[in-house]
Structures are given as structure tokens and as C-alpha cells.
């Protein structure tokens, strides 16, 4: 009889943060361990790796081979994830006599992370207050939220007027490159259809902020809820419906993970402006809150017990896409320092957890350029011939600035550099260190 040590690992982060590439590269290195440069602690070797997805529906299984094929043959990145996927694999470690390791991974569309606060708050009123606190604390929301705030203050508010205004404000946030769009079906609907570019009006009229046309909802401030209890009741009803149908199934699954990998795409936060940074930071806090909440316990007791009650024991904060910043900024520890500065509060929420910090590139795809502060890579935009091009990149700041605008920092998406021979996994930085943390 085989004895197994099983680890559940959830890979999380906002949309486009690198989750799918991370998992694809990791599985590629494990499956081709003999030709990978992966170093396991104690110089152990991986023997007999194989996938074991017999417990999963084929449609739910992370399409590793398809993603590897995209990276190796088509020389392009995997398509964005539109549904939740699982992947299980097993192997034996050369230094373990009696045990086999089974790993169970989860990958999902990053848009759903914006619903972490819905998972964390069983009550609609608490969720509304939480969201309005975030809007009020961050002035970069002011412009996009004006439409909704005016509708809240306007004469004779109706459900229809409020929903139309909230959708318009959400569309403004999307155009402002902000990831905290909740309910997340507005951004990625249940059929996996993402938003096509367009004006805020076009986006607002094409999308819903609820599971269907008749079950939409929006957050309401406390005074408004008091003055218009019938509207608040209706939104609360559809909030609970949405939470039960769409949010809890995913977050329940995530909360079973012992190891949480939180990917943070620092180049995109710098390139996207301070609003994107503030949102991403809040989303990490919401996620940790959501994964620890046990709704069956009283609030005070749950605060004390929830960590021990939850299966979550390890968290890896990972700064991804390290190949998109200057090598000197990775070597000097600047990238790592920005990751720590951003997520220190999240760390302090979990004093009992084993928390580590990593910088990584799942698929290293650039080289240092000849000019100072430059890289060479196959730029994705305006490069139909897929030529290698030298391009300038902003040095990382030592600390997150007080404020910055989109385009104050420049980082560029490149095509993947991989081998067509699938026996040779992608070049990487730090993937094996993260893997050792996951399994040991």
C-alpha cells in the first residue's frame, strides 16, 4: 500500500498576475525533472512523477499540456483563465522511504479575487461599509465613483437608476486599470466572457452587476440603507444569492489549501499607477480575511480560533515576472523589498503562519540590454516579426512612492522564450525555492 503526504496549494493573485504561467512552468519542471535545473532540498530527486486527475471532471482539469504547448510550440502565453481548474499529481522523493507526495493545485480567473470581501462578509451591510471605506480612503476612486455617488444623493432613487449608475462607475474603474471590480461577474461573466474594450457607456450597457438581469446589486452606504430600507433589502437578497452561487464555492475550495501562493506583479503595479497598487494591496488583505473566516463561530472567538481552525498554514508572497525588471534590481533585493513593504500588514494579520517572501520568474524571457537600464526581448506589442528588440525599462524605486500616475514607470510585455523540445522546461528564477517551501 502506498502512503501519501497530500498538500493542497492555491495559486492566487489578480488577473494577469502570472498564476497560469506559474503553475504551467512548475508542472513542466516536475514532469521533466531529469532535464530541469530544479534543486530540491537535501539534493533529493523526483521519481515517477505523474498526473492523477481521475477525481476531477475533465472540464475542471487544469489543461497543463495545452498551456505547455502554447509556450513551447506556439511561443505564446497561455490564454487568460476563464474558469476554475484543479490539477493533482504524485511522485516519490528519493529521500523518502515510505511516503509518496500528492499535490493538488487550484488555478482560477484572477477577477474573482475582487469578490474576496464578499466571501469574508456574510452580511451585505458589512460588505457595503467595507467597500465604501476603501472608496473613501482612496481618492483615485473619486472620479469614477462620481456617477454612482450622484445617483445615491439624487432625488427619488430607484433600483434601476442605482444599478445603471453603479455599472457606469465600475466601467470607469476598469478603464482606470483598477482590479477591485465587485461583483466580479461585471468583469468576467459566468460563461467566462471578459469585457471587450469600449467606452464606459458601452461597457456599462453590455454587462451586469449580478448573476442575471433581475438579480443585480450594488453596495449602499449606511445612511442610504436607513433611508431606503426596501432598496437595501432587495440588494441584500441578491447579494446573498450571488455569494452562495458564485463566491462561496470558489473560496471554500481555496480555504482548504494548506499553502497559499500570492503572486504580485510588481511591474504592472508600478506601470498602472497608485490606484492599482492600493487595490491590489486591499485585495490581498480581503483574501486572507476570507480564507480565515469561519462563519460558524462567534466573531470574537473566531478571531482567536480561526487560524487554528483553518487549514492554511503557509503563505508564500511572490513577486512574479522578475525578468521584466532590471537584473540589478532583482540582485540588489529591491524587488523583494517592494514586495515586503506592500504586504507587511497582511503578514502581521497572520503571526502564526509560516510566511516567506520570494522573487521569481516562471518563464524567464529577457536578456540584459547593451544600453544602461535596458532589456532585450521579443516585445509583444507592435512586433509582428517577433524580433528581439532592446528597450528601456524604469529602474525600481527603493520604496513605493507617495503617489504615481500610470505611465510614470515603464515595463513591457514580451513573448516567452522557451524550447520547442518539451523535455527542456523554461528558464526560471526561484521556482524551485518556492516549490521546496510548498512541500517541506
Ligand X SMILES: Nc1nc2c(ncn2[C@@H]2O[C@H](COP(=O)(O)OP(=O)(O)OP(=O)(O)O)[C@@H](O)[C@H]2O)c(=O)[nH]1
Does position 320 bind Mg ion by CB under 5 A? no
Residues 6-45 that bind Mg ion (CB under 5 A): 19-20
**E strand or H helix at 196:** none
Does position 267 bind ligand X by CB under 6 A? no
Contact partner at residue 365 from ligand X, Mg ion, none, CB < 5 to 8 Å by partner kind:
ligand X
| CA distances (Å), origin 145, targets 131, 158, 238, 328 | 12, 18, 22, 40
Provide, rounded to whole angstroms, the least separation between the CB of residue 335 and ligand X: 13
Contact partner at residue 393 from ligand X, Mg ion, none, CB < 5 to 8 Å by partner kind:
none
Closest CB to ligand X among residues 128, 320:
320
Does position 19 bind ligand X by CB under 6 A? yes
For residue 8, the cross-strand partners are: 104
List the x/- string, 397-426, binding to ligand X by CB under 6 A.
Answer: ----------------xx------------
List the x/- string, 26-65, binding to ligand X by CB under 6 A.
Answer: ----------------------------------------
Closest CB to ligand X among residues 135, 411:
411
Provide, rounded to whole angstroms, the least separation between the CB of residue 78 and ligand X: 5
| CA distances (Å), origin 184, targets 181, 189, 218, 426 | 6, 8, 12, 32
Does position 81 bind ligand X by CB under 6 A? yes
| Burial profile 128-163: b = 16 or more Cβ within 10 angstroms, e = fewer | bbbbbebbeebebbeebbebbbebbeeeebebeebb
| CA distances (Å), origin 309, targets 5, 255, 260, 298 | 20, 11, 16, 13
Does position 271 bind ligand X by CB under 6 A? no
Phi first, then psi: give them for residue 53, nearest 5 degrees. Answer: -105, 25
Q: Tell me the three cell numbers of residue 100.
A: 509518496
Q: How many DSSP H helices and E strands does the chain contain?
A: 16, 10
How far from the centroid of its chain's Cα atoms is residue 387's Cα?
30
Residues that bind Mg ion (CB under 5 A): 19-20, 81
Residues that bind ligand X (CB under 6 A): 13, 15-21, 77-78, 80-81, 109-110, 320-321, 323-324, 361-363, 365, 413-414
Amino acid at each position: 500500500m502506498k502512503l501519501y503526504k497530500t498538500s493542497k496549494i492555491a495559486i492566487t493573485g489578480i488577473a494577469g498576475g502570472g498564476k497560469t504561467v506559474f503553475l504551467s512552468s512548475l508542472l513542466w519542471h516536475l514532469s521533466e525533472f531529469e532535464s530541469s535545473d530544479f534543486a530540491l532540498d537535501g539534493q533529493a530527486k523526483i521519481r515517477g512523477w505523474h498526473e492523477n486527475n481521475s477525481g476531477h471532471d475533465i472540464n475542471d482539469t487544469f489543461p497543463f499540456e495545452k498551456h505547455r504547448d502554447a509556450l513551447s510550440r506556439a511561443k505564446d502565453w497561455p490564454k487568460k483563465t476563464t474558469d476554475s481548474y484543479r490539477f493533482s499529481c504524485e511522485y516519490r522523493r528519493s529521500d523518502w522511504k515510505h511516503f509518496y507526495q500528492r499535490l493538488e493545485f487550484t488555478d482560477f480567473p484572477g477577477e474573482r479575487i475582487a469578490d474576496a470581501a464578499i466571501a469574508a462578509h456574510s452580511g451585505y451591510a458589512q460588505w457595503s461599509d467595507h467597500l465604501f471605506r476603501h472608496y473613501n480612503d482612496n481618492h483615485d476612486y473619486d472620479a469614477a465613483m462620481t456617477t454612482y455617488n450622484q445617483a445615491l444623493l439624487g432625488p427619488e432613487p430607484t433600483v434601476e437608476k442605482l444599478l445603471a449608475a453603479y455599472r457606469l462607475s465600475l466601467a470607469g474603474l476598469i478603464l482606470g486599470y483598477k482590479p477591485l471590480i465587485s461583483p466580479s461577474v461585471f468583469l468576467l461573466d459566468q460563461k467566462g466572457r471578459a469585457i471587450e474594450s469600449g467606452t464606459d457607456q458601452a461597457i456599462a450597457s453590455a454587462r451586469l452587476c449580478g448573476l442575471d438581469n433581475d438579480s443585480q446589486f450594488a453596495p449602499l452606504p449606511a445612511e442610504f440603507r436607513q433611508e431606503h430600507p426596501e432598496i437595501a433589502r432587495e440588494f441584500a437578497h441578491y447579494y446573498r444569492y450571488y455569494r452562495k452561487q458564485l463566491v462561496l464555492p470558489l473560496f471554500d475550495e481555496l480555504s482548504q489549501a494548506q499553502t497559499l501562493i500570492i503572486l504580485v506583479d510588481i511591474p504592472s503595479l508600478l506601470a498602472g499607477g497608485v490606484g492599482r497598487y492600493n487595490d491590489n494591496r486591499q485585495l490581498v488583505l480581503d483574501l486572507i480575511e476570507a480564507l480565515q473566516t469561519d462563519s460558524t463561530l462567534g466573531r470574537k472567538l473566531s478571531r482567536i480560533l480561526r487560524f487554528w481552525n483553518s487549514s492554511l498554514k503557509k503563505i508564500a508572497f511572490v513577486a512574479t515576472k522578475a525578468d521584466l525588471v532590471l537584473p540589478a534590481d532583482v540582485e540588489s533585493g529591491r524587488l523583494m523589498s517592494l514586495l515586503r513593504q506592500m504586504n507587511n500588514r497582511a503578514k502581521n494579520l497572520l503571526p502564526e503562519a509560516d510566511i516567506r517572501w520570494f522573487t521569481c520568474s516562471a518563464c524567464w524571457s529577457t536578456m540584459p540590454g547593451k544600453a544602461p537600464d535596458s532589456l532585450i526581448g521579443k516585445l509583444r506589442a507592435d512586433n509582428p516579426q517577433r524580433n528581439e528588440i532592446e528597450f528601456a525599462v524604469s529602474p525600481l524605486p527603493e520604496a513605493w512612492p507617495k503617489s504615481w500616475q500610470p505611465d510614470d514607470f515603464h515595463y513591457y510585455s514580451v513573448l516567452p522564450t522557451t524550447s520547442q523540445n518539451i523535455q527542456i522546461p523554461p528558464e526560471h528564477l526561484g521556482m524551485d525555492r518556492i516549490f521546496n517551501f510548498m512541500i517541506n
